[in-house]
Chain A
Amino acid sequence: MKKYICFFKLRFATGMQYRMATVTALTTQLIWGLMECLAYRAIAEASGGKMPMDYSSIVTYIWLKEGLLVLFNTWAADNDLFAMITDGGIAYELCRPLSIYSMWFSRTVGARIAEAFMRCVPVLFCAFLLMPKAYRMTLPVSGVSFLLFLLTVFLALGITVTFCMIVYMLCFFTISPQGWRMVLTGAVDFLSGNVIPLPFFPKKYLFLLELSPFAYMQNVPFRIYSGDLMGGDVYLCILKQIFWLAVLMLLGIALWKKAEKRVALQGG
C-alpha cells in the first residue's frame, strides 16, 4: 500500500511544481463556469422554467464540474504514460517489482486527486462566495446526501480511471495513441455529462446511455449533491457504479495480460 501512496504523493508534488499552470487553469474554469451559468439562464428563460433540472441544481452541477474537472475528464489522460508506451520508456517500469496495472492505476488516481484538490478549493470558494447571487453554488441538500456524494465521487473516479487504463492498454496494440484517444475521450466527454448534464438528453437516448458505464461517472455524484437524484435511485446507481468499476477493471487487466506478452520496446 505504501508504494501506491508514494505514487500519489509524488504526483501531488509534481502538480505543485508549476504554479502558473494552476493559476491560469483556475481563471479559465471560473470564466467558463460563469458562461455556462449564463447559457442555462437563457435556456431557462426561453423555456419558461420547464427544464429537466431546476436552475439552482444546474448551477451547482456546473460548479462541481468545474471544481472537480480534473477528476473526471478523460481527455487529460496521463501523457507520460502514452509517451512511455510509444517510445519504449516502459522498459524501466517493467523493471519494478510491481504490476504495471496497479502502478499506473494508483499513479493516475494520485495525479487526479492531487490536481483536483489544488483546483477545487479556490474554484469552490469563488463559486460559494464571490459569484453574483443567482449563480452561486448551494450547500448539499442534506448531510446524508453529502456523504453519498463523497462515496459516489470515489466510485465515479474509479470508473473514469479504469476507463483511461483501457485506453492506455489499447495503445500497446496500435503504437500511436492518437486514434484511440480522440474517439474514446471525445465520446466519453459528451456521454458522461461533461458537456450537458444527462437529464437534458432525450429520454430515448438516456435509456440507452444508462446501460453504459458513462452514465455512472460524474453524472451520479453531482446530481446526488444537488438533490436531483434522490431516494432508491441513489442506491441503484451506487450498485451499478460498483458493477461497472469491476467490469472495466477486469477488462483492463485482461488487456494488460495480453499486452505484456507482446510488449515490444520501441526505439532501441
Chain B
Amino acid sequence: MIEFQDICKRYRVARREPGFGNAVKSLFNREYDIVNAIDHISFTINEGEMVGYIGPNGAGKSTTIKILSGILTPDSGSCVVNGQVPWRDRKEYVRQIGVVFGQRSQLWWDIPVIDSFELLQAVYSISVPAYRNKLEELTQLLHLEELLKTPTRQLSLGQRMRCEIAASLLHDPRLLFLDEPTIGLDAVSKIAVRGFIKKMNEEHRTTVILTTHDMQDIEAIARRVILIGRGQKLMDGTLEDLRLTSESVGSEGQSQETDIDHIIAGLYAKLNIV
C-alpha cells in the first residue's frame, strides 16, 4: 500500500548570531544551514496496518507525514501510495487520504462545525446518502451531537480535536495520517480518540499512520512502531522490539525502568538523537 523508498528532504534554515549588529549584517549577507529533515528513509506499510511513527522533536516525523500527504515534494527518493505518487498528482491523490494535523485546524473558526462539514462534503463531492451515513456514524462514535451546532471558536481543545478527526474522515479515506492527534488532550479525550482510531481500523480496515510523543497512544493503538531520529530510521518493529532494543543498547542492564516514557527517553539518550 505505501512504499516509501530512500526519501530525502532538506531544509534551508537561516541562522545568525544574536544581537542587533548581526541582525543588520544578516540583511546583506545571510548564512544558511542545510538541515537534513529526512535522510534516506525507507519503509513499506501494508493495507490495514496501524503504525506508530515516533522520534524526538525535530526528528522528521511531520515532514514524513507531509510528504505522504502530497504537500511537500522530497528532494530525492520515490514514494508510491496505492499506485500513485503523492506529490505528482496531488488533487487526485488526496481523495483517498485523510489527514489530521494536531496543531492546526481545518474547521472554520467563526461558524458552527456542521457548516465546515458541509463544505467538505462539497469539496470532496460526497453523495448525500454517503455523507449522511458517515456523519451519523462519526457523530455516534465521537459523541458529536452537542458540538455540531457550536461555532469552532467556542469548543474546548478536546471537543475540537474530535471534530477535526471527524472532518478528516467524512470522505471515507482508505488511509489516515494523524500528526499528533492527542496533543494537549485530557485523559478522557485521549482515550476516546484512541478507541475511535482503533475502531475505524477494525471496521473499515483503514490504514493508519500516527505520530505522537505520547507512548500510551502507541501502546494502545500501534502494533508496529517506526523510530526515527535526526532524519534517519533507527528501528522498525513491534513495541516489544523497542523494549528489547532499549535493553540491548543500554549497558549492563541499566534499563530496569518499566514505564514506557522512561524506556523511550533512555533509548533516545543512548542513541544520541535528542
Kindly list chain B residues whose C-beta atoms are within 8 Å of the C-beta of A265: 66, 71-72
Kindly list chain A residues whose C-beta atoms are within 8 Å of the C-beta of B125: 2-3
Q: Kindly supply a per-residue 1/0 record for chain B positions 50-62, scoring 1 wherever the CB is within 8 Å of any chain A CB and 0 otherwise.
A: 0000000000001
From A96, A261, A263, give the contact of B94 (CB < 8 A).
A96
Tell me whether A6 and B11 are in contact in the complex, defined as CB-CB below 8 angstroms, given that A91-B101, A97-B95 are known contacts: no
* Complex CA distance for A2 and B127, rounded to whole angstroms: 12
Is B91 among interface residues, defined by CB-CB distance under 8 A?
yes
Q: Which residue of A lies closest to B62 (CB)?
A: A268
Q: B91 touching A98 by the CB < 8 A rule?
A: yes
Q: A263 touching B111 by the CB < 8 A rule?
A: no
Q: Kindly supply a per-residue 1/0 record for chain A positions 247-268, scoring 1 wherever the CB is within 8 Å of any chain B CB and 0 otherwise.
A: 0000000000000010111011
Q: A7 touching B119 by the CB < 8 A rule?
A: yes
Q: A3 touching B111 by the CB < 8 A rule?
A: no
- Of B102-110, B136-144, B193-201, B228-236, the stretch lying at the interface with chain A is B102-110
From B11, B71, B92, B108, give the contact of A95 (CB < 8 A).
B71
Q: B104 touching A92 by the CB < 8 A rule?
A: yes
Q: Which residue of B lies closest to A94 (CB)?
A: B71
Q: A97 touching B124 by the CB < 8 A rule?
A: yes
Q: Kindly supply a per-residue 1/0 record for chain B positions 109-132, scoring 1 wherever the CB is within 8 Å of any chain A CB and 0 otherwise.
A: 011000110110011110000000
Is A13 among interface residues, defined by CB-CB distance under 8 A?
yes
* Complex CA distance for A267 and B72, rounded to whole angstroms: 14
Main secondary structure of the interface of B (DSSP, over half): mixed
Tell me whether A95 and B69 are in contact in the complex, defined as CB-CB below 8 angstroms, given that A3-B123, A10-B108, A17-B151 are known contacts: yes
Q: A14 touching B71 by the CB < 8 A rule?
A: no
Kindly list chain A residues whose C-beta atoms are within 8 Å of the C-beta of B90: 94
Q: Kindly supply a per-residue 1/0 record for chain A positions 1-36, scoring 1 wherever the CB is within 8 Å of any chain B CB and 0 otherwise.
A: 011011100100110011000000000000000000
Q: Which residue of B lies closest to A87 (CB)?
A: B104
Q: B123 touching A10 by the CB < 8 A rule?
A: no
* Complex CA distance for A22 and B92, rounded to whole angstroms: 40
Kindly list chain B residues whose C-beta atoms are within 8 Å of the C-beta of A91: 66, 69, 71, 99, 101, 104
Interface residues of A in 217-261 (CB under 8 A from B): 261
Tell me whether A17 and B123 are in contact in the complex, defined as CB-CB below 8 angstroms, given that A6-B118, A265-B71 are known contacts: no
Is A140 among interface residues, defined by CB-CB distance under 8 A?
no
Q: Name the residue in A17, A18, A99, A268 with the highest tally of chain B Cβ atoms < 10 Å from its Cβ.
A: A268
From A261, A267, A268, give the contact of B73 (CB < 8 A).
A261
Tell me whether A98 and B66 are in contact in the complex, defined as CB-CB below 8 angstroms, given that A17-B151, A88-B104, A91-B104 are known contacts: no
Q: Which residue of A lies closest to B63 (CB)?
A: A265
From B71, B91, B116, give the contact of A97 (CB < 8 A).
B91
Kindly list chain B residues whose C-beta atoms are within 8 Å of the C-beta of A268: 62, 103
* Contact sample, A vs B, 13 pairs, CB 8 Å cutoff: A6-B122, A10-B119, A13-B111, A14-B108, A14-B110, A88-B104, A91-B71, A95-B70, A95-B94, A97-B94, A263-B71, A265-B71, A267-B103
- The 8 tightest CB contacts between A and B, nearest first, are A6-B122, A92-B106, A94-B71, A3-B122, A95-B99, A17-B110, A97-B95, A97-B91
Given contacts A91-B66, A91-B99, 5 further A-B contacts (CB under 8 A): A91-B71, A94-B90, A95-B69, A95-B70, A95-B94
